[in-house]
């Protein structure tokens, strides 16, 4: 399978879409067309927590991700991913977002536990990444995101 990188970003901008794009830029995945997956990690997957993605391919290509994101104009934007894997790399992600860090943490824990209970797998490793940012004053939007990025970008056409 290859490498799955955990990246994240937070940003504030005058529109919801602009703040999302800026958060993607902070994670260095803003120049790709994102294709969202559900949350299963294939056998032979290797997770690496990197924060900011390296160059993953040409602009405009397709990048496969599992994504948690939250956009707010008031309060906190909180997004997180949790994961559980077997020794062979196979596993699951669970994503959650909201405005309360404790609620997101609880949702992640409950969700990954439920996902593990559905599978007769031998999970040996678990982890999570939660990112939060307060909304900025004024008429701005703040977005927080955490993404699991599968491999490198691929051509769309």
The residue ranges of every structural domain in the chain are: 2-154
What CA–CA distances, in Å, run from 78 to 1, 62, 85, 150?
30, 26, 24, 22
Strand-pair partners of 17:
none
Average pLDDT over residues 108-128: 96
DSSP 55-83: --SSTT-EEEEEEEEEEESSSEEEEEEEE
Q: For residues 22 and 11, is the Cβ–Cβ distance under 8 A?
A: yes
Stretch 114-118: mean pLDDT: 97
For range 8-29, the mean pLDDT: 98
Whether 157 shows a pLDDT value over 70: the answer reads yes
pTM above 0.75, yes or no: yes
Supply 145's token pair: 């995101």
What is the per-residue pLDDT for 138? 80
Residue 156 has pLDDT above 70, yes or no: yes
- pLDDT > 80? residue 1: no
Residue 139 has pLDDT above 90, yes or no: no
DSSP SS3 for 3:
strand
The mean pLDDT of 125-132, rounded to a whole number, is: 96
pLDDT value of position 136? 86
Average pLDDT over residues 42-63: 96
From the candidate CATH numbers 1.10.10.10, 3.50.50.60, 3.40.50.11740, 3.50.20.10, the one assigned to the domain spanning 2-154? 3.50.20.10
Residues 105-131: b if buried by 16+ CB within 10 A, e if exposed: bebbeebbeebbeeeeeebeeeebbbb
Tokens describing residue 52: 């900011």
Give the whole-number percent of the chain exceeding pLDDT 70: 99
**In angstroms, rounded to a whole number, what is the distance separating the alpha carbons of residues 149 and 152?**
8
pLDDT at 30: 98
* Burial per residue of 142-156, b for 16 or more beta-carbon CB atoms within 10 angstroms, e otherwise: bbbbbbbbbebbbee
């Amino acid at each position: 399978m290859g490498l799955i990188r955990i990246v994240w970003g937070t940003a504030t901008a005058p529109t919801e879409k602009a703040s999302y794009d800026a958060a993607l830029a902070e994670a260095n995945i803003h120049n790709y067309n994102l294709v969202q997956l559900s949350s299963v990690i294939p056998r032979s997957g290797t997770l690496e927590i990197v924060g900011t993605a390296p160059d993953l391919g040409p602009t405009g290509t397709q990048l496969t991700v599992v994504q948690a994101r939250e956009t707010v104009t008031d309060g906190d934007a909180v997004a997180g991913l949790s994961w559980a894997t077997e020794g062979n790399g196979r596993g699951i992600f669970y994503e959650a977002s909201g405005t309360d860090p404790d609620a997101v943490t609880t949702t992640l824990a409950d969700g990954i536990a439920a996902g593990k209970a559905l599978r007769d797998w031998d999970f040996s490793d678990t982890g999570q990444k939660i990112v939060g940012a307060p909304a900025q004053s004024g008429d701005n939007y703040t977005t927080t995101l955490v993404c699991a990025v599968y491999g490198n970008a691929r051509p769309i056409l």
